[in-house]
């Protein structure tokens, strides 16, 4: 049976606002699960999943196990580049979000989908890999590193095109993925992306040599997420 999901494209939104929105949906789904577990006779409305797609102004975010040493500029330099910095409660190390990047926050109950966290991350990666294939770009996974990568063959320098960092509690997810479409890649020069110093970053625009239709790419990502996770939009 398809998993019912509310879809919200919230346009351009600063990181903290989107984080607060995620937290409110995340808590609502968890509270509904706990109510059912504590009282099986309770009448609790079914809580659908939620997919939020957003584009952020310049911001660096650090995962709970990451090192601030991977931010290579100080807070004054951040301000001169119109960038913010947040420590978050997701997994992973440091990454960058900014204009021209599709950021997806799926808040899904994995128990209802019938998968574990490892398979969930695999399917997020698969959705972006399929999107890139539509543009004739071969992308894959890299052993020991989450996300979607190009040039993963031995002897080449892998380049990340999509970062993934998630949080889960009671099998409910939040945070998600960041897919570089028309992203200004110079902002990655100020960090060790995801803690790596020996790997590069890229974007759809860079790989294809031309700026892409952002909204069209977003709809393609949405379509592939629906197919890979067997989602049913309810709005």
Any idea which residues carry the catalytic annotation?
A: 194
Q: What is d(CA 157, CA 200) in angstroms, rounded to the nearest whole number?
A: 7
Residues near 64 by Cβ (< 8 Å), separated by ≥ 6?
Answer: 87, 88, 89, 90, 91
Name the region of 191 (left: φ>0; alpha: ψ -120 to 50; beta: rest): beta
Q: What is the DSSP letter of 65?
A: T
* C-alpha separations of 152 from 65, 140, 163, 227 in Å: 25, 7, 15, 26
What does the block give as tokens for 200? 């590069």
CA 19 to chain centre: 12
Q: What phi and psi, each to the nearest 5 degrees, are found at residue 216?
A: -65, -40
């Amino acid at each position: 049976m398809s998993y019912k999901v509310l879809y919200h494209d919230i346009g351009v939104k600063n990181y903290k606002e989107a984080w607060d929105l995620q937290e409110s949906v995340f808590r609502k789904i968890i509270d509904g699960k706990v109510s059912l577990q504590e009282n099986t006779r309770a009448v609790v409305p079914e809580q659908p999943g939620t997919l939020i797609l957003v584009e952020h102004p310049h911001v660096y975010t650090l995962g709970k196990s990451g090192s601030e040493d991977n931010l290579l500029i100080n807070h004054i330099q951040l301000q001169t580049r119109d960038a913010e910095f947040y420590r978050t409660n997701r997994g992973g190390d440091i990454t960058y979000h900014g204009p021209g990047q599709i950021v997806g926050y799926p808040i899904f109950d994995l128990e209802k989908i019938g998968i574990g966290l490892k398979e969930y991350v695999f399917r997020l990666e698969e959705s972006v890999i399929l999107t890139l294939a539509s543009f004739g770009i071969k992308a894959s996974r890299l052993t020991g590193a989450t996300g979607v990568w190009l040039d993963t063959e031995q002897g080449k320098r892998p380049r990340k095109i999509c970062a993934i960092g998630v949080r889960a509690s009671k099998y409910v997810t939040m945070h998600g993925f960041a897919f570089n479409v028309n992203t200004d890649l110079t902002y990655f020069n100020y960090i060790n992306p995801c803690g790596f110093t020996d790997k590069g970053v890229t974007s759809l625009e860079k790989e294809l040599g031309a700026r892409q239709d952002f909204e069209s790419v977003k709809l393609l990502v949405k379509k592939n997420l629906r197919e890979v996770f067997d989602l049913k939009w309810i709005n």
